[in-house]
Amino acid sequence: MRENVGGMDRTMRLAVGPGLLALGYTALGGSRGRVPGLLAMIAGALVTETGITRVCPVNEAMGLDTARRDFGDALPPRRHGKMPELDLEPAFSE
């Protein structure tokens, strides 16, 4: 698989993943074998792994590529800072 995670997406994964891992281990009881904590730890580990390797199978399946800013059909096309032209003529004249 090619890299498909980059920019802010990668940064968020590297911040949220370890937080979710720690939350699962401590507050949700993952260290004591509780299912919610274990699930949070697994999710945190997977999110962190996708941020480190820059490869996400879910992004691949959905056709998203945040490393190259190619979001497929998920987002409307960018206008690259161009403002629409305004018609400043009055709608009626006297």
User: What's the confidence (pLDDT) of residue 70?
Assistant: 52
Smallest CA-to-CA distance from 45 within 28, 8, 20, 66 is with 20
Strands (E), 1-94: none
Confidence of residue 88 (pLDDT cuts 50, 70, 90): low
Taking CA atoms, 11 is separated from 24, 37, 82, in Å, by 20, 24, 28
Distance separating alpha carbons of residues 43 and 37, to the nearest angstrom: 10
Label residues 23-50 b or e (16+ Cβ within 10 Å = b). bbbeebebeeeeeebbebbebbebbbeb
Q: What is the pLDDT of the chain when averaged over all its residues?
A: 83
Across residues 68-92, what is the average pLDDT?
58
